[in-house]
Amino acid sequence: MNVSQLLTDATLAFRAGRLDESRKLLEDVLTVDHDNQSSLWGLFRICEAQGDEAAAIEFLHRLAAVLPDDISILEAISARSNTPQQLDRVLALYRLYLQRNSIADGHFNYAYLLARAGESEAAIASYLRAIELGAERPEEIELNIATVYSQQLRDDQSAERHLYNALSINEKYVPAYFNLGCIAEQRGDRPVALAQFSKCLDIQPDYLPALVRLADAQKFSDESSPLLVRLKEIGCENEDPDLHFALGRAFEQCGNYSEALTHFERANSVDRANYVKYENALTEAHFEAIKQNFDAAWLAGHVMNNQNEPVFICGMFRSGSTLVEQILAAHSSFTPAGEREFFPRLIAKHLPEFPNGCASLSEKMRREWANSYQTESERVFGCNTRLTDKRPDNFLYLGLIKALFPRAKIILTQRAWRDIAWSIFTTRFGPGQHYATSIESTRHYINLQADLMTHWQSLFGDDIFVVEYEELVLSPKKSISGLLNFLGEPWEDNCLRFDSLKNTVRTESVWQVRQPLYTSSIGRADPYLALRPDLFE
């Protein structure tokens, strides 16, 4: 078999668009020359063109074995590594690469992947090593280190230190000012947040993220506001979803519901086009599988002897979970952990077919997971406190959570479905909540969530407490007293003064929870129901 002729024929077939023929010819080459670089590169490109991403990645890995010191191959693999399993493979390649080539770019790339994998301390160490080795754009690396400290380690003081390091390198580095503004925003420090976002615009007047943040930090009452006028002018030519969500909220505050709806629909239409389509039947099957896999018999065979009593706050997004966590944060017994990624990250890495694959989890594995959760809790948030884990969609994993922590307490937040659906529709979520771009899909998901919670209540009823948002804001002392009684904690008046806390809040409710309890969010969807009743049918 003539390898040279096969490669020539494969090239001609590829140029003529006969991809299957070209792929077959290149595969024939590999039967003769297993490590033929031209064939491996060609097969990678053909698989990319055919949308066969898994095969494309495998050919890149084979190239990495042939050319272990070619960092461009590792970068190509990294760009296509989206699952925890894929990340583990490319991280292993970088570890070997760095043993032979301790260069700045290698450490930078490795650090970025470590951060994606949740290995925070190792990521910071590798970023710092990249700086030591003279990496280009060190201010960008300082920004990345700050992001790891803030988002993963919840250490805003260290994050700010590295952001100021970035500014000492480049005093006009806009992303550093922007992130300083975000940290101040999350702390509820409005003057500092506004000052930092304004500094971004002093340097780069068209920096859209800062304009959007400025809009979200304000309360509009007049459509002639210069900032609103400016944003609307930009919106005429720009389809950025964050911009149109901000415009929608601004016009809603001004009482122009028709204009607000126009911008909310524009924002969601962009995301809807880019996200995986929400499929009713697939989602129903997923929820049903959770109920079938996590039943009383499964729990009887998997429940651990664990005396820890973590507190989980879950429910639909925008149902009041952040408010509940802030109220508990004002109590001396609790520390807010916010929306922890532990269980979504664990599921993605160890149970990628969830809820399948849970039939026979070993005791050793379950013990390791429970210990990892506790170790991470103590490392990030300290000991001798009760943590609240406020990841709303942890309701999907309550069967596993209660197996690991049978004494865990579950707080379920509920709210009128129209107000939840509208609040979700007017907030930008990522691809993981792809139902959010449609009120119809959101209502479908709400119904499935309610049905799943009925299942969990049949199994863990005594350990689940329901907080109704409307009751909480209308009769706060009664509602909070019931919640504290459920958690075995005494009443503290500070729970009614949660709005004065200076803690960090990393959700879309960042400004709302800095206010005393208010009732204006009850019936928020009503003006739109009157305007477009078809939206809520």
Rounded average pLDDT over 181-208: 93
Q: Does residue 445 lie within any of the structural domains?
A: yes
Integer Cα distance of 434 and 440 in angstroms: 12
124: Cβ contacts below 8 Å, ≥ 6 apart: 111, 145, 148, 149
- The count of domains in the chain is 1
Per-residue pLDDT at 360: 80
And the tokens for 248? 């929608």
Q: Does residue 45 lie within any of the structural domains?
A: no
And the tokens for 145? 């280190």
Helix, strand, coil % over all residues of the chain, rounded to 5: 70, 5, 30
Give the alpha-carbon dihedral of 9, 15, 19, 24, to 10 degrees: 10
- CATH number of residue 519's parent domain: 3.40.50.300
DSSP 59-102: HHHHHHHHSTT-HHHHHHHHHT--SHHHHHHHHHHHHHHHHH--
Per-residue pLDDT at 150: 94
Rounded average pLDDT over 224-244: 95
pLDDT 10s digits, 511-527: 666 577 777 788 899 99
| Chain-centre distance for alpha carbon 141 | 21
Q: Does residue 4 lie within any of the structural domains?
A: no
Per-residue pLDDT at 1: 62
Which residue type sits at 140?
Answer: E
pLDDT 10s digits, 397-439: 999 999 999 999 999 999 999 999 999 999 999 999 999 999 9
Per-residue pLDDT at 481: 96
Output DSSP code: residue 151: I
Q: Does residue 73 lie within any of the structural domains?
A: no
DSSP 308-342: ---EEEEESTTSSHHHHHHHHHTSTTEEE--S--H
Whole-number percent of the chain with pLDDT over 70: 98
> What mean pLDDT is reported for the chain?
93
Per-residue pLDDT at 400: 97
Q: Does residue 378 lie within any of the structural domains?
A: yes
Which residue range forms the structural domain that includes residue 288?
A: 280-536
pLDDT 10s digits, 310-323: 999 999 999 999 99
Residue 475 scores a pLDDT above 90 = yes
pLDDT 10s digits, 254-269: 999 999 999 999 999 9
Residue 497 scores a pLDDT above 90 = no
Residue 505 scores a pLDDT above 70 = no
pLDDT 10s digits, 348-394: 999 999 999 898 899 999 999 999 999 999 988 888 889 999 999 99
Q: Does residue 260 lie within any of the structural domains?
A: no
Q: Which residue has the higher pLDDT, 190 or 273?
A: 273
pTM (global) more than 0.75? yes
Residue 500 scores a pLDDT above 80 = no
pLDDT 10s digits, 135-193: 999 999 999 999 999 999 999 999 999 999 999 999 999 999 999 999 999 888 889 99
Q: Does residue 241 lie within any of the structural domains?
A: no
Integer Cα distance of 430 and 428 in angstroms: 7
Integer Cα distance of 100 and 98 in angstroms: 5
Per-residue pLDDT at 91: 97
Q: Does residue 482 lie within any of the structural domains?
A: yes
